[in-house]
Amino acid sequence: MEKIDEHKAFGGWQRRYTHASKVCNCDMTFALYVPPQADTQRVPVVYWLSGLTCTDENFVNKAGAQRVAAELGVAVVAPDTSPRGDDVADEDVFDMGKGAGFYVNATQAPWASHYQMYDYVVSELPALLADEFNTTLDLSREAIFGHSMGGHGALVIGLRNIDRFAAISAFSPICAPTEVPWGHKAFPKYLGDDRQAWLAYDATHLLSNADNAEALPPIRVEQGLADNFLDEQLHPHRLEEAAEQVGADVEVNRREGYDHSYFFIASFMEDHLRFLGRHLGV
- Taking the chain, what is the end-to-end CA distance rounded to the nearest angstrom? 29
Residues 125-181 pLDDT 10s:
999 999 999 999 999 999 999 999 999 999 999 999 999 999 999 999 999 999 999
Residue 27 among the catalytic residues: no
Task: Return all residues near 27 (Cβ < 8 A) that are at least 6 apart.
Answer: 18, 19, 20, 21, 84, 85
- Ranges 22-26, 154-158, 181-185, 209-213: which has the least confidence: 209-213
| Mean pLDDT, the chain, whole residue set | 97
Residue 260 among the catalytic residues: yes
The 10 Å CB-count burial string (b at 16+, else e) for 152-179 is: bbbbbbbbeeeebbbbbbbbbbbbbbbb
Task: Return all residues near 3 (Cβ < 8 A) that are at least 6 apart.
Answer: 15, 16, 17
Residues 79-93 pLDDT 10s:
999 999 999 999 999
Q: How much helix, strand and coil, in percent to the nearest 5, is found in the chain?
A: 40, 25, 35
pLDDT at 261: 98
Kindly write down the DSSP assignment for every residue of 55-85, as one continuous string: -THHHHHHS--HHHHHHHT-EEEEE-SS--S
Q: What is the largest CA-CA distance in the chain?
A: 51
Kindly write down the DSSP assignment for every residue of 242-260, as one continuous string: HHHHHT--EEEEEETT--S
Q: Is 121 exposed, middle or buried (0-12, 13-18, 19+ CB in 10 A)?
A: buried
Given the residues 21, 50, 82, 148, select the one marked as catalytic: 148
Cα 152 to Cα 49: distance, rounded to the nearest angstrom = 9
Residue 114 among the catalytic residues: no
| C-alpha neighbours within 13 Å on the C-beta side of residue 77 | 28
pLDDT at 165: 98
Residues 234-268 pLDDT 10s:
999 999 999 999 999 999 999 999 999 999 999 99
Cα 231 to Cα 219: distance, rounded to the nearest angstrom = 21
- Phi, psi dihedrals of residue 134, rounded to the nearest 5°: -70, -20
Tally Cβ neighbours within 10 Å of residue 25. Answer: 17
3-class DSSP assignment, residue 54: coil
Which residues share a beta bridge with 219? 168, 250
Work out the pLDDT band at 3, boundaries 50, 70, 90.
very high
pLDDT at 162: 96
Given the residues 235, 260, 272, 279, select the one marked as catalytic: 260
Domains of the chain: 2-280 (3.40.50.1820)
Cα 268 to Cα 282: distance, rounded to the nearest angstrom = 19
CB distance 28 to 21 below 8 Å? yes
Task: Return all residues near 103 (Cβ < 8 A) that are at least 6 apart.
Answer: 49, 117, 118, 121, 149, 150, 152, 153, 156, 157, 201
Work out the pLDDT band at 58, boundaries 50, 70, 90.
very high
Which residues share a beta bridge with 143? 46
